[in-house]
Structure 1
């Protein structure tokens, strides 16, 4: 008769996500995961699969967290430009609080070499682009944005600009500079 799991799946997944987040995929060993998650190796393999499977699950979990963050930030205003600003400011706050981003780390560490990771990252990026594009088009329709910039191209720029907020904070740990980067990104909308 199989034993019941004596741990919370989601809680341990979050722990694994945080380990990958801090160390990166390549620098994280199975021993790091076993020790950090405080489960035995066989339970880890049976429940989450190998290191790569666990990483994919951790990254998907992180992406869900970011989706929720963007959605909640956007819903704070019915005005599309304010919704965009809210999303960008939420990333600024995350960068200050977390000073790291599993998504950004994964882009630079794995996107060129791991097709499954690249697919997750690309899908998430396109989802964020679509959100920004929708809001930009709404702002153009209600004439709160008078811009001849292509909405899709601007949406791509804004999403890639979110990475610059994290990069600035990670490299310089300077709240003022990170805030200035955030404000410049917001200023690019018009």
Structure 2
């Protein structure tokens, strides 16, 4: 008869996700994983798979969190432009509060160039987030609050790409006011 798991699957996944987030995929060893999860190797392999499988599960867990964040933020305001601005500011505020780059953004630079499975996962996740942004953009355009002739998909992709720029500026300056001014500028450009 198989033994019941004596630990919370999601709780352990989030613990190791934070380890990957802090150290990066390549510098995190199985020894580090065992130590932080406080599980033996066989339990980790049986439950989560190898290091790569575990990392993909961590990315999936994080992606679900971000999708939920975007979805909830998109429903806070009635007007499309207010919804869009709320999403953007919520994501930036969360990143600054966490004081670290989005795990997906970090993974784009560290792992995605050499790992097709991770790259495909990130592209799929980006499409989900882009669709959420596009709904608010389309609504804002229909309400006359976006006059830009750029397509909603271009605007959404530009917003997603801007998040890593905001974070890189904050890393260098530690100046939240300047990041806020950059977000203000982004919103001005979207409205034009």
Q: Which category describes the TM-score, using the shorter chain as reference length? A: over 0.9
Instruction: Number of aligned residue pairs: give it.
Output: 190
Give CA-to-partner distance per residue, 1:22-54, whole Å, 9 cap, x none. Answer: 111001111111101111111011100000000
SS in 1 for 2:113: coil
Give the structure 1 partner of residue 124 of structure 2: 123
Give the distance between the partners of 1:188 and 1:164, measured in 2 at CA. 16
Please identify runs of 4+ aligned residues in structure 1 that moved more than 3 A: none
Equivalent-residue separation in structure 2 for 1:181 and 1:144 (angstroms): 20
Q: Which residue of 1 aligns with 2:113?
A: 112
2:20 is matched with: 20
For structure 1, the residue ranges without an aligned partner over 5 or more in a row are: none
2:73 aligned residue: 73
Structure 1 CA distance, aligned partners of 2:63 and 2:170?
Answer: 20
- Answering whether residue 139 of structure 2 is matched by residue 143 of structure 1, we say no
- How far did residue 171 of structure 1 move? 3.5
CA distances 1:104-135 after superposition (whole Å, capped 9, x unpaired): 10011111111111111101111122222222
Gaps of 5+ in 2: none
Q: Verify: 1:41 aligned to 2:41, yes or no.
A: yes
TM-score by length of 2: 0.93
Which moves more between the two structures, 4-13 or 172-181?
172-181
**CA RMSD, aligned part only?**
1.3
Matching residue of 2:87 = 87
Q: Is the 8 A contact 1:164 1:181 kept in 2?
A: no
Q: CA deviation at 1:170?
A: 3.1
Residue pair 2:74, 2:84 contacting (<8 A) in 1 also: yes
